[in-house]
Amino acid sequence: MPLRLILFLALSILTLACSSPKYASAHDRSNSSSTANKSLVRFESSASFAPIMEKASKLDKPIFLEFYTSWCAPCKLMDKDVFTHRETANFLNGHFVNYKVNAEKGNGPDLAVIYSVKSFPTLLFLDESGKVLLRHEGVAYHQTLKEIGQIVLDQKKSLTMER
């Protein structure tokens, strides 16, 4: 089977899993808290995005923003396997202001429209003013997430040096 066909099929299956509520679990993923799966990433708790931008500005750190839904299997995978990984959590906690948004509740639908979120998870790295520096749609495992984050940090560093 040609590689292009395999990639197309894999992406199609992943898209279906993330775009159809028929795959929903009975519980919101915030209710699935086992101690073994507890996120080590410190996600800010705020009903609005403005305090997140203020904190990022004060700390001079970019923002890591994850859009998820309660029914998204790949989002749950990120919770279980990526955000519980100590090295990844230390990297995100040390270099970013982290914010997690349910795209179907609270301020999530509005932010999803603002940032044109169409699939889940969508991972955004933003500057302190909310401008997208880097966008990743789909699961990003430990190494990929750290590599993406490092690209953002390098961009920020080179912009600072140019000033």
Angle formed at CA 144 by CA 76 and CA 146, multiple of 5 degrees: 100
pLDDT by residue for the chain (163 residues), tens digit each?
Answer: 555 545 444 444 444 444 433 333 333 434 444 445 799 999 999 999 999 999 999 999 999 999 999 999 999 999 999 999 999 999 999 999 999 999 999 999 999 999 999 999 999 999 999 999 999 999 999 999 999 999 999 998 877 777 6
CATH number for domain 37-162, candidates 3.40.50.970, 3.40.30.10, 3.40.50.11260, 3.30.379.10: 3.40.30.10
40 within 8 A of 84, measured Cβ to Cβ: yes
pTM: 0.77
Spatial separation of the C-alpha atoms in residues 21 and 30, rounded to whole Å: 17
Domain boundaries, the chain: 37-162
* pLDDT on residue 163: 64
Angle formed at CA 60 by CA 57 and CA 66, multiple of 5 degrees: 75
Tell me the three state secondary structure of residue 123: strand
* pLDDT on residue 101: 97
* Alpha helical stretches, state H, 28-162: 50-59, 73-77, 86-95, 108-114, 142-162
